Amino acid sequence: MKKINILLVDDHAIVRDGIKSTLKDQKNFIIAGEAANGAEAIEAVKKISPDVVIMDITMPEMNGIEATEIISKKYPESKVLVLSMHDNETYILKSVEAGAHGYLLKDVDKAEFAKAIIAVNNGEKYFNTAISSVLVAGYLNKVKQNDQQSPSATNDEYELTKREKGILKMITVGKNNREIADGLGISIRTIETHRANIMKKLKVKNAVELVRVALDDKIV
């Protein structure tokens, strides 16, 4: 496996040290740099071009969401994985809208942390079960509130195949591409193709919009 260069961004040195300790046994991970706020993160990305940026949200000078948006637009080759203590829907949505490829809580275990870094490095979106549950719960609540206010699109309107509907359902419950591929016994590349086709048919640009449309329009 190719080495993955990582930039750690957190305003607490003790947290950065903890992350380094957590990842030290991962031979393919290289801690290429550190930053204590969003502004420093942008400068570091410019200098070292990391593969993955592990980004905190609440920091002085410039927060992680602002930094993520700038990095995603100016340096898209560096993928942002948010690592935060906040399980608030607003923080999660703003991070994804800013361009984050994934979002984890700081109590994530070592194995899933490594799994998320690899997924994000591969260009996949990664949200663990806890984060996916927050997103889905939020959307379900909105769907319930708006259910009587506007008519929903019919399933047939999007012309999804049976396989695409099955994959979409797995996405809405938080499965990533690898988990879906393993579950269906097909390749990740095939899942990526299906996912791209689904997003095109639903006219969405990211995973959050995909889940929202799927739930709002009762496609799954």
Task: Provide the whole-model pTM.
Answer: 0.67
Which contacts (CB < 8 Å, 24+ apart) does range 174-183 have? Answer: 174/127, 174/128, 174/129, 174/131, 174/132, 174/133, 174/136, 176/119, 176/124, 176/125, 176/126, 176/127, 177/119, 177/124, 178/119, 178/124
DSSP string, the chain: ---EEEEEE-S-HHHHHHHHHHHTT-TTEEEEEEESSHHHHHHHHHHH--SEEEE-SS-SSS-HHHHHHHHHHH-TTSEEEEEES---HHHHHHHHHHT-SEEEETT--HHHHHHHHHHHHTT--EE-HHHHHHHHHHHHHHHHHHTTTSPPPPHHHHT--HHHHHHHHHHHTT--HHHHHHHHTS-HHHHHHHHHHHHHHHT-SSHHHHHHHHHHTT--
How far apart (Å, rounded) are the C-alpha atoms in residues 114 and 100? Answer: 17
pLDDT at 87 (0 to 100): 85
pLDDT given for residue 34 in this prediction:
98
Taking residue 63's Cβ as centre, other Cβ atoms within 10 Å add up to 18
Sign of CA dihedral 62, 53, 11, 33: negative
Question: Would you say the CATH fold of 132-216 matches that of 4-126?
Answer: yes
Q: Which amino acid is at 39?
A: A
| CATH no., domain 132-216 | 3.40.50.2300
Determine contact, residues 87/115, Cβ cutoff 8 Å.
Answer: no
What residues does each domain of the chain span? 4-126, 132-216
* Residues 92-107 as b or e (16 or more Cβ within 10 Å = b): bbbbbbbbbbbbbbee
pLDDT of residue 153: 47
For residue 74, the Cα-to-chain-centroid distance in whole angstroms is: 18
- Choose the CATH number for 4-126 among 3.40.50.2300, 3.30.300.20, 3.40.50.150, 1.10.3720.10: 3.40.50.2300
Residue 4 corresponds to which tokens in the numbers above? 């993955």
Low-confidence residues in the chain, pLDDT < 50: 140, 143, 148-154
How far is Cα of residue 156 from the mean position of the Cα atoms in its chain? 29
- pLDDT tens track for 162-212: 899 889 988 887 788 888 998 889 999 999 999 999 999 998 888 778 888
